[in-house]
A = this chain, B = another copy of it.
Amino acid sequence: MARTTGSHSDITGPRIVAAAQHLIAKHGFAAVSMRQIAREVGVQAGALYNYFPDKQSMLKELMLAHMQDLLADVRALPLQDPLTDLETFVRFHIAQNRGRADAVFIAYMELRNLTEENFAEVEALRRDYERFLEGILAKGAAQGQFKIDNPRITARALIAMLNGVNTWFREGGALSLTEVQDLYWALVRQTAGAK
């Protein structure tokens, strides 16, 4: 049976992406087969190749799409002064990591499974994201609101710290998302040496 009733490209496409994201986040890119992804969508493996030329491209597009979304959203944040901006960023980043948990996990877990050129493309976006935070930190340091030696390293360190939330936070756990945001904002504020 081919072309089941109601199946269209614009439905199957997103479902493949969703299934792939879910499975790869859970088991890792290398451990997930095209057939597994297809089965989750309710389709044969061959059908995936209507949407992606190969498995590697699938991973690349998954990660690129995520990074682009993330960048677009972070750039849309309302900015004021560095201290407020830093808080905005922290709360945004933690919320994002929850809302797109699978994509975030993949984005920094599967970098090594990208080919060299695909890695470069994704990495460039990751650096842009990093630079966004770096900009806030540098501005705050210049204005004397923060006490920061090296804005670049500090930005990396803070993002790593915030990403760490993913390894232990569970919905319905001891802490709510807001509580986590509060705790980490206090930490980041102190790390930045904010007045």
Contact = CB atoms under 8 A, between A and B. Distances in A.
Interface residues of A, number: 33
Contacts of A112: 26-28
Nearest to A111: B167
Contacts of A193: 190
A28 B31 CA distance: 9
A159 B28 CA distance: 23
Contact of A164 (B28, B147, B161, B192): B161
The SS class assigned to the A binding surface is helix
A193 B147 CA distance: 12
A186 B153 CA distance: 11
A161 B163 CA distance: 9
Contact of A153 (B108, B147, B183): B183
Contacts of A96: none
Interface string A84-115: 00000000000000000000000011001100
A49 to B, nearest CB: 21
A184 interface: yes
Contacts of A154: 187
Interface in A15-35: 26-31
Contacts of A167: 108, 156, 160
Nearest to A194: B190
A19 B188 CA distance: 39
Interface of A: 26-31, 108-109, 112-113, 147, 149-150, 153-154, 156-161, 163-164, 167-168, 183-184, 186-187, 190-193
**Ordered nearest first, which 3 A-B pairs have the shortest CB separation?**
A160-B164, A30-B31, A161-B161
